[in-house]
Every structure is written in structure tokens, then in C-alpha cells.
Homo-oligomer: A and B are copies of this chain.
Amino acid sequence: MSTQTGVPPLIQVMRRRPAARTPVWFMRQAGRYLPEYRELRASHSLLELCRDPALAAEATLLPLRRFPYLDGAILFSDLLLVLEPMGLQLSYLPSEGPCIENPVRSLQEAQSLAAVDPARDLPFVLDAIQRVRARLSPQAALLGFGGAPFTLASYAIEGGSSRDYAHTKRVMSMEPEAWRILMERLVDAVASLLHAQVRAGAQALQVFDSWAGALSPDDFREFVLPHSRRLFDRLKDLNVPVVHFATGSAGILELMKEAGGDVIGIDWRVPLDRAWQRLGDVALQGNLDPAALLYPRPLLLRRVDEVLDRARGRPGHVFNLGHGVLPETPPDNVQAVIERVHERTAR
């Protein structure tokens, strides 16, 4: 098959065009499973890494240095950084995850959220992107990313992680005006951030609606889809492929496609071929269980092959995990997956 010279395979495949191989990257590929990342973190907090463009660029490139055949580099940053210039006080508690001291639960609190100017408020993100692009192999594509409005709203409302999203669902249903304003401001903020990321050099984008799978399909359709759609609509003129990712999303895949995205990112709970039967013409990203990277090598490779077999004959498969790399993962297993995917799909 012919391939377009100079365009990285990841971008080609996201556009469902022929490419030399199935591209592969990993969510959280720069993460605690890498000794060189843990070393960086020994002297810097997560937020320090994110806010220092040289360190953020370094963290972004770490996995590419260890695994030079990775097809994508995802910007090292944090989904919740965009909430700070809006007025939310973000911190990370050791082993407890994100904490927002002043969560948004009322109309007044939603109305007080400020607009985000990425060049003014998050310049380190854009600077990091430029630094990475200057050093990245032309065969690898740089992905920028942002949060979908529901997932960001869930953090803003809960004040951190949640098991059942009770506060979020209550505001969504009981405070429609607060919900509308919060979702609109989040869409505005993320849209402007993603525009700025592409201007700075991001070649593709991933929108994380990580927790959208907590919603019933009816609630997603009614309270979330219109807002997500406005976000994806505002990314169309950027002319870069956009991944729409969620976990636990087996019940809302069609609605995610309806909301937007060139590529639907799915977790490991739905067989890839069944997802494609349901969704038809769209690229898919996924969907190896991150835990498979803890398995004995033969079982790991069997699970990789099963994903590849289910994608066979379809254009537009980006190999990835169904969620982020687990901290317990042996780095050699990441290398083994990259090799297996490339070997089995080289054209």
C-alpha cells in the first residue's frame, strides 16, 4: 500500500488512510512504571513537572528515548491544570490524587469561573509542545490533550476523584443553570487550550472523558452530549485528528461517536470487532487491558494478537491500552507490545 511521505503513521491511521503499520502508543506512557520518570519525580512534584516547560518536555520524551519505535508522544501535562486559571485551587495529595479546595456546586460558584487565555495562563504547556516538536522523530506524532466537559466538571464538583459521582449527578439534575454555565465555561476553556496546543505544534488531540462511563446512556444523552458536541465542533477547523476517549463506555459508544471525534478510544471491556460493528465508519483506538502488561509474556502476546485479529481488515486502528499504563508494569513488556504490534502489522 502507498503511504504519504512525511506524515507519521499515527496521523495517517487516525484519518483511516493506509500506513506502513498499525501505530502504537500508550496512555500514561511517561509514568511511574519508568525508573527514569520516578527519578524525575523524586525531586519534583507532579505539578512542578507540568509547569516547567523543559521538565514537561523531558517527561514527554522519556518513553520515546527508551522505546524509539513508539508512534506517538503525548504531551506530559495534567487534565486539571486548565481549572486553575478558571479560579479553582488544585493540589495533589500524596497517594490520594487531585484535590480541589473550592469545588463548584452552586450557580454563583459556576458564574464566578474565569475565562482561560492559554498563552497568558498556561504558557508552559505551549512552550513544552514547541520543545518536544523540535526534538521528536518525524515518524512519531505529538498528541496534545484536554478534558471533556463532563470529566472536568466531575472533578470541579466532587473536589477530587469519586466512586459514584453523587455530587456531580446531583448538580447536573438539580441545578440545571449552574450545570449549563459550568459545562459551557469548561468547553470554552478546553477549546481555546486545544486550539493553542495545535498552533504550538500538536499534530493530533485526545479528549479524555475518562469518567463518562459512570453515566447512564439517558443521562449522557441529555446532560453531556450537547456540551461535548460543541467542544468537538469547535475543534473541526483545526484540521488535526481528534480522539474521543472514555472508560466503562460500552453503553454509550454510539453517543460518543455522535458527540464527535475522528477516533473513538475504547477500554478493554468491549471486544474491538463488536465496537466496530456498532459504530461503523470511524477509527478506533485501543484496547488492551493495562493489566495484561503484568501477565507472563506468552499470555500478554496472545492478548495483543487478539486485539490485532479483531481489527484486521479495517482501516483506522490505533493500538493502545484501554486506560493508562499501571505503575507495576515491567518496562520490557511495553517494548514487547510495540514490537509485536509492528511485526504483526508491517505492510
Contact = CB atoms under 8 A, between A and B. Distances in A.
Interface of A: 164-166, 169-170, 173-174, 213, 215-219, 248, 250-252, 268-271, 289-292, 294-296, 299, 303, 306, 322, 326, 328
Tell me the number of copies of this protein. Answer: 2
Contacts of A290: 164
A269 B328 contact: no
A295 B218 CA distance: 13
A191 to B, nearest CB: 28
B303 A218 contact: yes
Nearest to A299: B173
A180 B71 CA distance: 39
Contacts of A250: 250-251, 269-270
Given A250-B269, A251-B270, A326 B166 contact: yes
A271 B251 contact: yes
A174 B294 CA distance: 9
The 8 lowest CB-CB distance pairs between A and B, nearest first, are A250-B250, A251-B269, A169-B291, A173-B295, A216-B268, A216-B289, A170-B294, A251-B270
12 contacts: A166-B294, A166-B328, A169-B294, A170-B294, A170-B328, A174-B294, A174-B295, A217-B269, A218-B306, A248-B269, A250-B251, A251-B270
